[in-house]
A and B are shown apart, each in its own frame.
Chain A
Amino acid sequence: MDRRTFLKIFGSGVAGATTGNLLSPGRSFAKGDLSGQEFNGILVDTTRCIGCRRCEKACAEVNGLPIPDISESKNEDVLKEPRNTSDTQYTVITKYETEKGTIFVPKRCMHCNQPGCAAACLVKAMKKRPTGHVTWDSNCIGCRLCMISCPFDIPKFEYNKAMPRIQKCNLCYERFKKGELPGCVEACPTGALMSGSRRQILEEGKRRISDNPDKYVDHIYGEYEVGGTSHLYLSAVPFEQIGFRKDLGTVAYPEYSTGFLFAVPFIFVLWPLAMLGINRATKKSKEDEGHHEEHHNEKGKH
């Protein structure tokens, strides 16, 4: 192979890769650990949660949100209603009355391994970091596709602001970079939250289940749901009883559109090219014919 052909092939490969990347959003970070780093996450043991809401307070302190009043009397009031995260509450505790007594469940962004929100984002404002964190960045255009694409209804939009942002838990990405633990994990008084690499917490979750088979249901929510998530949940009762969706399946959301999106660049590039080529070919022959006729006419005049 001579220098010229090598460069040709190599160059076209690089160009193809870049176009493919640009035109299919979310694919670059979607799969696995590319840099040798592991995904990080939190193991939530709902059997240990006592509903003190210290995680909510810590979350607010860490992220500069309005700090909730978590005195005991207030807690009773707040936990009566079913709750959802909001643009000023990245994590909320919900109370469920089940056959095994009262169970508190902290709800927050699940940090999917292949997040639907990151795949849906047009401008890559929502990103899956190689460390497992799903974060939002300021180049957002406010299309709110991430909100629609999230199976857990997590990203929240600041509707009441002039310059609205998307708000959600980012697994304390800034603190992680400094080597600190997520705010909620540090505040939890019962060890219901445990942070670590996804591999570690999954192992620990499985250990807890096998050590106490009577205590837990044999399922870790988030191990396979939507292709796996970084937040893993353990429970004493079936998960549908404590507000988790069981109909999500185990296929990651971006996977549904991968095939289609993969075809898009080829169609965008090749289809016009082909058309152009056909057009060019037909036009040229017409021009030729016209030229010939003209010539003929000229001849005739003479």
Chain B
Amino acid sequence: MSRKTVLFLLIGVVYLVLIAFGLTMVYSVGTPVAVKKPVITSPDNKISIAHTEIFGKLERPQVIFDHKKHEEASKQEGCTTCHPVNDKNKVLFDFPKKIKGKGEKAVMNAFHDQCIECHKKSAQENKKTGPVTCNDCHTKQLAKVGMKYPVVEFDFAYHDKHVKKLKEKIGKDDCGQCHHIYSLEEKKLTYKEGTEESCVYCHDLTAKRGPELTAITKVSAEKGLTIRKASHQQCINCHLEYQKKGDKETGPTECVKCHTGKYKTIVELEKVLRPDRKQKNISYIDVESSRLKGVTFDHKSHQTYAKNCRSCHHETLKACKECHSLTGKPEGNNINVANAYHDVSSGHSCTGCHNQIKAKKECAGCHHLIAPKQATCAVCHSGKKDQINLPKPFSTAGISQDKLKKEVEVKVLEKEFEPSKFPHLDIVNKLVKVSNDSRLATYFHRDIQTLCEGCHHQSTANAEAQKDTPPNCKNCHMTAYDKQNLNKVRLLSAYHRQCLGCHEKMELEKGRKCSECHKAKAGGPAEITRIKNDHVIKQNTTNIINVWRPK
């Protein structure tokens, strides 16, 4: 073998090794897996200081700051030990007090300076103090954990409590203690009785608002008054004030006392008094030159169905028609009044909210199938001023057995199963109860016939011709397939879809399994199947194309 051949062979081997190595490199690279950061939602007065929005990826682990420990340590000096004060001597809950210069480094230095200086100072005074070296604060423990306090819901119960307590303390109703409005002309905060609004309207900077409110939220944004900052400032300063006065019955200043993570349901809040802003109990909504009659709106009872005013009054607490005119105004995002009340996709409109309720499990059983009828317009658009007629609750007591059958036997699958027993009366009674329990249902159902339509839907003239009112299923749904209209639901499918669909939507545990409705027939096909299974049958095979036939 010549030298040249050896050299070529060597190079070849090296190439092979390189290729093999490269391939293993390519295939051994793990695919990146999205790791979900665990979030602690009950942080026990601790705060995570990470500020990834400023620093991006952190060089060192985040600092878990125990707020309560620091609160107790600086009890004498108060909040101002760490937090700055504004010109009205109100504490601003910012940290650190002052940031010199701009950029990431300045923020970092400000944090370090304020923390470490204080720790050093108390060390000199021979007090118990916090750490001054890096790793004592930037501990690896809980480095990859997020911390999030549950949002505080200042519900009507809290509002009512505040109204009552403040009246005791001040001696009169003064909503101006908390509520204010920003006047764009005077460029300052003002207050006028009867114009109270929700904090969120001006201080929630994430939502998209109309032109008027946008001008105000812009000011809030300039001042950095997010809903978080504004509410901390407003609530805690007031609580502190009463604490200083020696009032023992004042609100909390500790994180977890407000951020409890517990929320009251609408039912729990039903008995609570709603804020009084001189709103009418019953208002008559009548739009000028509209085609339909006016709507008498029971504002008082609707107040109890919502957790807050914002559920309907999405931007201000003004009446709907102030922004939504017949043709639409720019203030109302060019949504006209008809859409404002009837938009099905909006949670703020009448129809939208009612649809959301209809999608709940109690109602969805019937309502997932039924489209609204044209005739329902007049239920709201009655034109009767200041008068709300709630129909009487239903009862099945007076209806005769011929009309309201107690039990119905369904024999569609008679060959295979015993007839299914359908408890007709029990189901009707249950629907009556569901309807009576809800004020909305009672108001809109009007007539007990409406409940029948939940199952006996679409009673067309064709079906009624057979003199069954409401029509039986088999009047329309044929047992055999309709060759002309394959779309039409067969009786077998109609039963299954109606029964199972309703049970599924109403989240009923009963009636989900076959055997609950169908009892196997003695000597029926189930038994025959078992016998047949033992010997593989080969009938009918001559007609079937998939069979090999020797010629």
Contacts and interface: CB of A to CB of B under 8 A. Distances in A.
A137 B548 CA distance: 7
Interface string B481-495: 100001101101100
Interface string A4-39: 000000000000000000000000000000000000
A142 B364 CA distance: 55
A174 B481 contact: no
B481 A136 contact: no
A191 B537 contact: no
A138 B532 CA distance: 27
A86 interface: no
Given A69-B529, A71-B520, A170 B496 contact: no
Interface stretch (A161-169, A268-276, A278-286, A290-298): A161-169
A66 B489 CA distance: 30
Contacts of B548: 138, 140, 163, 165
Given A181-B481, A195-B486, A48 B497 contact: yes
Nearest to B486: A196
A170 B545 contact: yes
Nearest to B481: A181
B546 A191 contact: no
Nearest to A65: B536
A135 B545 CA distance: 7
B546 A135 contact: yes
Given A66-B536, A165-B548, 5 more contacts: A52-B514, A57-B529, A190-B500, A191-B496, A196-B486
8 contacts: A48-B497, A64-B539, A68-B533, A165-B547, A174-B545, A189-B493, A190-B497, A191-B493
Contacts, number: 82
Contact of B493 (A52, A181, A188): A188
Interface in A142-181: 163, 165-168, 170, 173-174, 181
Interface in A168-209: 168, 170, 173-174, 181, 186, 188-191, 194-196, 200, 204
Given A69-B530, A71-B526, A188-B493, A174 B537 contact: no
Contacts of A48: 497
A168 B546 CA distance: 8
B507 to A, nearest CB: 11
A137 B496 contact: no
B438 interface: no
B356 interface: no
A289 interface: no
B530 A72 contact: no
Given A69-B533, A165-B548, A167-B546, A189 B496 contact: yes
Contacts of B539: 64
A258 interface: no
Interface string B36-53: 000000000000000000
A67 interface: yes
Interface in A56-70: 57, 62-70
Contacts of B281: none
Contacts of A167: 546
Contacts of B486: 194-196, 200
Contacts of A173: 545
A278 B306 CA distance: 95
A72 B513 CA distance: 8
Interface of A: 48, 50, 52, 57, 62-72, 135-138, 140, 163, 165-168, 170, 173-174, 181, 186, 188-191, 194-196, 200, 204
Contacts of B538: 64
B515 A72 contact: yes
Contact of A50 (B487, B496, B540, B547): B496
A191 B490 contact: yes
Contacts of A168: 546
B458 interface: no
B544 interface: yes
Contacts of A136: 545-546
A67 B490 contact: no
Contacts of A186: 481
A72 B520 CA distance: 11
Interface residues of B, number: 34
Given A163-B548, A188-B493, A64 B541 contact: yes
B462 interface: no
B549 interface: yes
The A interface, classified by DSSP as helix, strand, loop or mixed, is loop
A170 B545 CA distance: 8
Interface in B455-513: 481, 486-487, 489-490, 492-493, 496-497, 500, 513
Interface of B: 413, 481, 486-487, 489-490, 492-493, 496-497, 500, 513-515, 520, 526, 529-530, 532-533, 536-541, 543-549, 551
Nearest 3 Cβ contacts at the A-B interface = A191-B493, A64-B541, A190-B496
A62 B543 CA distance: 10
Given A48-B497, A190-B493, A195-B486, A67 B529 contact: yes
Of B486, B513, B545, B549, chain A has the most CB atoms within 10 Å of the CB of B545
Given A64-B537, A64-B540, A72 B514 contact: yes
A264 B543 CA distance: 38
A57 B413 CA distance: 15
Contacts of B543: 174
B183 to A, nearest CB: 44
Contacts of A70: 529
A13 to B, nearest CB: 34
A168 B520 CA distance: 31
A156 to B, nearest CB: 11
Contacts of A66: 532-533, 536-537
A136 B537 CA distance: 21
A188 to B, nearest CB: 7
B487 A194 contact: yes
Contacts of A190: 493, 496-497, 500
Contacts of B526: 69, 71
Nearest to A179: B483
Contacts of A137: 545
B60 to A, nearest CB: 38
A196 B487 CA distance: 9
A181 B514 CA distance: 25
- Scoring A135, A136, A191, A196 by chain B CB atoms within 10 A of each residue's CB, the highest score goes to A191
A166 B487 CA distance: 33
Given A181-B481, A194-B487, A63 B546 contact: yes
Contacts of A68: 529, 533
A138 B549 contact: yes
Contacts of B546: 63, 135-136, 165-168, 170
A102 B544 CA distance: 35
A170 B546 CA distance: 8
B442 to A, nearest CB: 28
Interface centre among A62, A190, A196 (most CB of B within 10 A): A190
A206 to B, nearest CB: 13
B532 A67 contact: yes
Most B C-beta atoms less than 10 A away, residue of A62, A136, A189 = A189
Most central of A52, A138, A181, A196 by chain B CB within 10 Å: A138
B364 to A, nearest CB: 12
Nearest to B540: A64
B538 to A, nearest CB: 6
Contacts of B545: 135-137, 170, 173-174
